[in-house]
Structure 1
């Protein structure tokens, strides 16, 4: 037994000792690997370019030493080294020597451990849509700086941070989209006649409606009247020349004039100042003429009359405009020539020729119907030319004392502008400013799930059917009225307030130069009310990998996945106004949001906003920033966990954007 026991002691010690020492080696190697990983991660994060600087090296070594203490393992000869390749990948190696405690008695020497580690900015393809509040409150100041100016600085900081992280990375695509929102959004760059879908993500204007219902007004012309004499629009003026020759020669008729006494014409008969001779016009030929009683020939020095008038049904010409009757003919005279001619070669002063032009113009009484009152009601307007950048001619105001139409009826402002020969109408032209009314929706109090009839909350599908098409806003042709019923009145109702973001939405695209990015951001201007749901709807539309932008958004150009982020910023709670023209028309008239719910419009807009956030959660990273206000309510619950932030001043806002940029450009371990 003693012999057997003695023989077994050595193997048993070997087994136990190897288990102890091997466990120590594995623990040390695991810790060394973790320290190596931490070191290269810290070093790569400290690299602002592809160069492994001394600052980055110090950061890497400090992180390695923090995570591996040689005394914990009685290790010796511990080293950590790292170097960066041409693309900025940081490769590291760590080594140390672990002494054998038990196995040393059996002749086993110390164990050297070597581990490798690498870190890189492994940014996937990234899509970022900035949904930015450009409402009127963004003109307020915090610390002497306008909030809109702070927003611009922070957004440009974000671009700089991503650009720095991307240095040397030629494999990753980063795209930015913008939705500046207030009570509406501007789609003038998104919907165009010749869209560039592949590069700019533009859509044809056929995604906008062809005929649009506008809360407008019609002018009722039902008051008959008889007005002034006007040229008969159905009659064309006629002209002819008359030549008068001295001498009582019948062969010269019908273009012969003689004095009333039948004697030959004297010098004065064709002079500028004629004699008091009787006058008539042959009603059959309009050519056989006695000289009129004129104190001056028409075309002379302006003395006397150059017109004569013959009332309808009369054969007598008179020197004054008729005061009654249904119409008359006016004859106007102009001298063509008055020349002396000799008689058989002898100047006997007995032969003189005069030519004059006579113009007959028919006049009738102006009759028709004058303005009676307005009816404020919906009007159908064709938008085909308007949505494509053309103009709509409309009547912006009416002189109710002078305006008239030939036929009684009700006329909208576009119809009136097309009427010819009208007075008392002030015509203007409307051009689409790019802002959009949302498509068909339904008034609901809850949005879980989102109702199918709420087409506006569908952020997947484009405007491929009439109920799904958007509407180009027509503020010029919109007037307010109280309630949904038609309103007939002689009053000029007010127009709704309106604010269209100056900067148009931009779909996802690359910005290879900083100047292109900053130029757009600096174009942002503040105006209007806060409709959070309008901004979020369009943010989701631009970034969604489905529906109308699927061909652009599903995968990256290298076939890689896309990391999608919406950065949503506002400086206040939802604010709506019943008398504002917004993406949902004028609420006090159309009630597209409130309907008969009895719930305030602002509350319903907030619920719609929350429903949109919930619908896409997990597929799109949603970051929410409350600027100059508390990050509570919708802003807190809309954002992903840990991604709702509050910024109380410019510095904090820039820090918030920097934090998001760092997390978007996620630093990931390669090996």
Structure 2
């Protein structure tokens, strides 16, 4: 019933052969053999990762330490070691960023020093650091790998990249007041002798006035910039002072100035009229030719005719209806009628060639709107290029006057010389004939009827101001900066037109356009950073009857606000805003400082993000300018 199972025959193959063919239990041996390289691979990856993490953190801590050390450095001498204050701060920031025992690291050390630059000298604007840490291995200890020492280096400097700064400064009448005064404040207008010897006007400054604080703030800004720069840094300044106009005639290339003809709201002699009653006259010993040469008839006066006689405060001459006889060696007798000029007030085209050249030559030109031989010399303020009216603009397609990159290429569209002595107002929109005795000056040089006052007279009222000449970007010495803001003509006067200042601040800093070469990169260097420091003490305050950069708005209506002060305000504000957009589109950083007033929504809109400052006192203003200089002079890692 039972079958015996046969016993297998003994395997007579050699042992190694049997082992090779017998797979039973081989996996364990193979795994044991493979563990060694697997541990090596894993340990290498893990420990290399640990080393990377520690080195990154060590570098970050080193950077933080030298940044803190440079920021708090109190001794910037080039011959001394890093001061104790800076050293302590550097060590503190390093320790806060690299905690003791991080990834079991030991022998952690950080050494901050002043950067060495040559034998026995140091760089005042740099702090260098060296940090070390020893990191033990984990799995790699199985292979006898010892702990590894990591070393990193770092350096921080407090200096400038190449930098261009355009100051756009409000020098209007309210700047004569103290920061605590109302924004409507403007001290009494007084006369002074300009730097060129002519008579000018300004609002008399209070003690501790805003404009004095501005002068000090600009000087402090320059001092801060110089203390923050190293020997390789280049920085340039430009200046635009503004009110209702800007004085840029001296910086515009002559080929871009209208030096032929331009139309002004002016006047010319239309004829004459009888002034008073006629009287009889008789002269003896007069040749016939002299008698008939007396002026007649009583109408049709031409400026090329006989001259008018200066009567002190007005010009007059006589009409003679005469006859001649041979009696008494020649008798000339008849009636004498006093005459006065009749003026036509209307847009009048005047030749500007002599006026434009007078800025550089100093040679005055005869004022064609007067008959007393008065002359004018151009001070440099301009009327703008052609423009578009309204309150909506596209920053990508700006009208000529708002385009920072515009290069005038047509005779019809160049910058025009402002001529206040030839600009005459009237009390109607259309043309108007006015008798001379309605506008005669009295002994105090004030016009009886202010409806017909000339722009030259408006200078006394602040409604036709022309401030300090603008300055193109250039390298300045500290003394030159001081001399500019303390120049005798750096005076407060006129009304506030923010758009006027921003238009020219942007134009003179733009990397394209008429002034592009001024802000070009230095040879072998990257493009400079470009910055506008815009300072004002008030809100926009355009006037219908001021003579400014857009003529007299009531009559010229170039911005579209004639007859409506609200529309006028809105249009100028829109121009200001879009010009701020144009500046920022060109990579310009705008810093806005409001002194003695709040930072309005328009000013906030204009500024680059986070770059508005409000100053309620003289000290606040100087601190704001210093802070801006420090922001421009950014702290940065260089190694």
**Secondary structure, aligned partner of 2:50:** helix
Q: Post-superposition shift, 1:606? A: 0.5
TM-score by length of 2: 0.73
Contact 2:280 2:333 in 1 (8 A): no
Shift of 1:596: 7.1
- TM-superposed CA distance for 1:93, in Å, is 1.7
> Equivalents in 2 of 1:580, 1:369: separation in Å?
36
Which structure has more strand as a fraction of its residues?
Answer: 1
Are 1:471 and 2:440 counterparts? no
State how 1:476-515 maps to structure 2 within 5 Å: 476-490=421-435, 491-492=438-439, 493-495=452-454, 497=458, 498-511=463-476, 513-515=477-479
Of 76, 83, 103, 2:140 maps to 103
Whole-Å separation in 2 of the counterparts to 1:540 and 1:59:
41
2:163 to 126, 135, 155: 126
The offset of 1:442, in angstroms, is: 2.8
Give the match for residue 60 of structure 1.
Answer: 90
SS in 2 for 1:447: coil
Task: Give, in whole Å, the separation in 2 of the partners of 1:621 and 1:527.
Answer: 28
Q: Is the 8 A contact 1:180 1:501 kept in 2?
A: no
Larger of the two Rg values belongs to structure: 1
Aligned to 2:518: 552
1:509: how far off?
A: 0.8
The change in CA–CA distance for 1:481 and 1:98 in structure 2 (over 3 A counts) is: same
Aligned to 1:25: 51
1:178 aligns with 2:147: no
Equivalent residues of 2:271, 2:343 under 8 A apart: no
Say if 1:124 and 1:561, in contact at 8 Å, map to a contact too. Answer: no
C-alpha contact 1:445 1:597 (8 A) present in aligned 2: no
Matches within 5 A, 1:219-298: 219-223=269-273, 228=281, 235=290
CA distance in 1, matches of 2:154, 2:282: 99
CA contact (8 A) 2:264 2:347 kept: yes
Written as runs of structure 1 = structure 2, the 5 A alignment for 1:192-231 is 203-204=253-254, 207-223=257-273, 228=281
Specify the SS of the correspondent of 2:388.
coil
* 1:134–1:501 contact (8 Å) kept in structure 2: no
Q: 1:152 to 1:181 in 2, by over 3 A?
A: same
State whether structure 2 residue 311 is matched by structure 1 residue 381: no
1:45 Cα deviation from its structure 2 partner: 3.8
Q: State the match for 2:295 in structure 1.
A: none
2:86 and 2:327 map into 1 onto residues whose CA distance is 100
Alignment-derived partner of residue 617 in structure 1: 584
Deviation per CA, 1:214-265: give whole Å up to 9, x if none. Answer: 21223343447787567779559xxxxxxxxxxxxxxxxxxxxxxxxxxxxx
Instruction: Classify 1:328/1:65 alpha carbon distance in 2 versus 1 (closer, same or farther; 3 Å).
Output: farther
Q: Is the 8 A contact 2:544 2:562 kept in 1?
A: no
Q: Distance in 2 between matches of 1:597 and 1:218?
A: 25
SS at match of 1:326: strand
Counterpart of 2:481?
517
Aligned to 1:146: 209
Q: Is the 8 A contact 1:36 1:116 kept in 2?
A: yes
Kept in 2: contact 1:631–1:645 (CA 8 A): yes
User: Could you tell me whether the CA contact under 8 Å between 2:365 and 2:376 is conserved in 1?
Assistant: yes
Change (3 A) 1:527 1:4: same
The answer to whether the 8 A contact 2:402-2:503 is kept is yes
Cα separation, 2, equivalents of 1:450 and 1:495: 39
Q: 1:67 to 1:380 in 2, by over 3 A?
A: same
| d(CA) in 2 for partners of 1:156, 1:591 | 39
Distance 1:429 1:372 in 2: 19
Cα distance, 1:564 vs. partner?
0.9
Displacement of 1:33: 0.8
Partner in structure 1 of residue 387 of structure 2? 441
In the alignment, which residue of structure 1 is the partner of 2:635?
667
Between the aligned partners of 2:77 and 2:240, the Cα distance in structure 1 is: 31
Q: After TM superposition, give the deviation of residue 603 of structure 1 in Å.
A: 1.1
Q: Which has a greater percent of helix?
A: 2
Give the structure-1-normalised TM-score.
Answer: 0.70
C-alpha deviation, 1:532, in angstroms: 0.8
Q: 1:75 & 1:547 partners in 2: Cα distance? A: 59
The CA distance in 2 between the partners of 1:443 and 1:49, in whole Å, is 58
Structure 1: gaps (5+ residues): 192-202, 237-322, 332-359, 395-411, 418-425
Question: 1: CA distance between counterparts of 2:343 and 2:321?
Answer: 33
- Give the conservation status (yes or no) of the 8 Å contact 2:159–2:229: no
Matched residue SS, 2:226: helix
Superposed CA RMSD: 3.1
Query: CA–CA distance in 2 between the matches of 1:53 and 1:559?
Result: 30
- 1:83 paired with 2:132, answer no
Tell me if the contact between 1:123 and 1:666 (Cα under 8 Å) persists in the aligned partners.
yes
- Quick one: distance in 1 between partners of 2:269 and 2:114? 81
- Report the Cα distance in structure 2 between the residues aligned to 1:633 and 1:615, rounded to whole angstroms: 18
Instruction: Tell me whether 1:526 sits opposite 2:467 in the alignment.
Output: no
3-state secondary structure, aligned to 1:558: coil
Conservation of the 8 A alpha-carbon contact between 1:501 and 1:525:
no
Give the deviation of 1:540 after TM superposition: 1.3
Alignment of 1:44-55 (within 5 A): 44-47=70-73, 48=76, 50=78, 53-54=82-83, 55=85
The CA deviation at 1:428 is 2.2
Q: Is the 8 A contact 2:288 2:330 kept in 1?
A: no
Establish whether residue 117 from structure 1 lines up as the match of residue 154 from structure 2.
yes
Shift of 1:516: 0.9
Deviation at 1:448, TM superposition (A): 2.1
Deviation (angstroms), 1:7: 4.0
Residue 564 of structure 1 pairs with residue 530 of structure 2? yes
Change (3 A) 1:595 1:662: closer
Is contact 2:43-2:140 (8 Å) kept?
A: yes
SS in 2 for 1:661: helix
* 1:15 CA displacement: 4.0
Q: CA deviation at 1:568?
A: 1.1
CA-to-aligned-CA distance 1:178-208 (integer Å, 9 cap, x gap) = 00001101125425xxxxxxxxxxx227624
SS in 1 for 2:584: coil
For 2:229 and 2:108, locate their aligned partners in 1 and report how far apart those are by CA, in whole Å: 33
Q: CA deviation at 1:18?
A: 3.7
Judge conservation of contact 2:267–2:343 (CA < 8 Å) in 1.
yes
**Residues of 1 paired with 2:92 and 2:330: CA distance?**
104
Name stretches of at least 5 consecutive residues in structure 2 with no aligned partner.
1-26, 118-122, 181-206, 292-319, 440-451
How far apart, CA to CA, are the structure 1 residues paired with 2:282 and 2:418? 43
Checking the alignment, whether the CA contact within 8 Å between 1:442 and 1:592 is kept in structure 2 is: yes
- From 214, 226, 241, the counterpart of 1:163: 226
Q: Quick check: 2:321–2:334 contact (8 Å CA) kept in 1?
A: no
Cα distance in 2 for partners of 1:324, 1:643 equals: 76
Q: CA deviation at 1:430?
A: 1.9
Secondary structure of the residue aligned to 2:266 is strand
In the alignment, is the contact (CA less than 8 A) between 1:373 and 1:489 conserved in 2? yes
Q: Does 2:575 align with 1:608?
A: yes
Q: Give yes or no for contact 1:375–1:489 (8 Å, CA) kept in 2.
A: yes
Distance in 1 separating the partners of 2:321 and 2:428: 49
Do the aligned partners of 1:444 and 1:597 also contact (CA within 8 Å) in 2?
no
Counterpart residue number, 1:255: none
Query: Cα distance 1:324–1:437, how it changes in 2: closer, same or farther (>3 A)?
Result: closer
Distance 1:448 1:176 in 2: 29
